[in-house]
Amino acid sequence: MSSTLIKCFNLAKTVGNATVKSFLAAPKQPWQACSAAALQTPHVQMPMQMHTSPVRRDLMEFFDDKKNWSENEVKVGRAWRTEELRIKSNKELHQLWFVLLKERNMLLTMEHECNDKMEVFPSPERIDKVKISMENLETVVRERNKAYHLLETGETGERPQKAVKNAFGLQVSYKSCEHALPPFMNLKWIKSRNIGFGGRAVNRFLLKYREKLYNAKRKAKNRSRNEVMMILRRNPNFDLNVLRRQFPDVNVDKLCNEDKIRGHYVPKVGV
């Protein structure tokens, strides 16, 4: 082996040893210190920082506080309103969503456990309040997403939907979704969406269903008319403008000329 090649090997070995020594002597970075601590204590786990409430490392987090187990009523507040959620930031809404999700899971677990033990679930309206709060939060987030998409692209960003009729002939809303195949090639989609309705049974059902809707509307109108008549019978000098605003479906002027609104009193006759 030539002397030049031996000198090159010795030089490379010297440079490598110096680089390793300088790396070991350099101050450790924060990530290196954390890695070393993790290696020294392998059984210690860092707590999660996503929790908004104190972390409990047990399954009792799915249950309510023990002091509420024997109570018949738990005092709670009302649901979150949309006008209150609109002033919150996106980060606060994100945190509130997980708080409500955690509360809903706890309440559903407690309800199932009370039903299993045949006990009374205290304040079951808490589940409805949590659901209303989550629906209002989704409404606010959807409003912000629509405003952002309208500003950036000129579109709402919502899934397009259209009114279609199902197998019973009732009009429903269908939301479009993405498919791997185009519509004319997707035979499964064509069979599932092109549902024709017809036949004697469906027509009879639609006839009775429309009759039911008509009767409900007619009875509601009659109730409003009777209520206006009772008000005018007891208070002949009642403000008619207030009745028109409160009962827009009732013809108040026509009722004023009927005999049914006259009370059982003797009118004063001038002497």
Per-residue pLDDT of the chain (271 residues; tens, 9 = 90+): 456 556 555 655 665 555 444 544 555 544 444 444 444 444 444 433 334 445 566 777 788 887 877 778 888 889 999 999 999 999 999 999 999 999 999 899 989 988 898 888 888 899 999 999 999 999 999 999 999 999 999 888 888 888 888 888 888 888 888 888 888 888 887 777 766 677 888 899 999 999 999 999 999 999 999 999 888 888 888 888 999 999 998 888 888 887 777 766 555 666 5
Nearest CA to 96 among 110, 82, 112?
A: 82
Q: Angle 67-78-69 (CA atoms, 0-180°, nearest 5)?
A: 15
- pLDDT at residue 79, as a whole number: 92
- pLDDT at residue 68, as a whole number: 79
pLDDT in tens, 120-164: 888 889 999 999 999 999 999 999 999 999 999 988 888 888 888
- pLDDT at residue 63, as a whole number: 82
- Using CB atoms within 10 Å of the CB of residue 110, give its burial: 0 to 12 exposed, 13 to 18 middle, 19+ buried: buried
- pLDDT at residue 185, as a whole number: 87
Handedness of CA 89, 94, 99, 105 (dihedral sign): positive
- pLDDT at residue 38, as a whole number: 41
- pLDDT at residue 176, as a whole number: 83
CA 99, CA 52: separation in Å to the nearest integer?
Answer: 7
- Using CB atoms within 10 Å of the CB of residue 107, give its burial: 0 to 12 exposed, 13 to 18 middle, 19+ buried: buried
pLDDT in tens, 201-227: 889 999 999 999 999 999 999 999 999
- pLDDT at residue 182, as a whole number: 86
3-class DSSP assignment, residue 198: coil
pTM of the predicted structure, to 2 decimals: 0.53
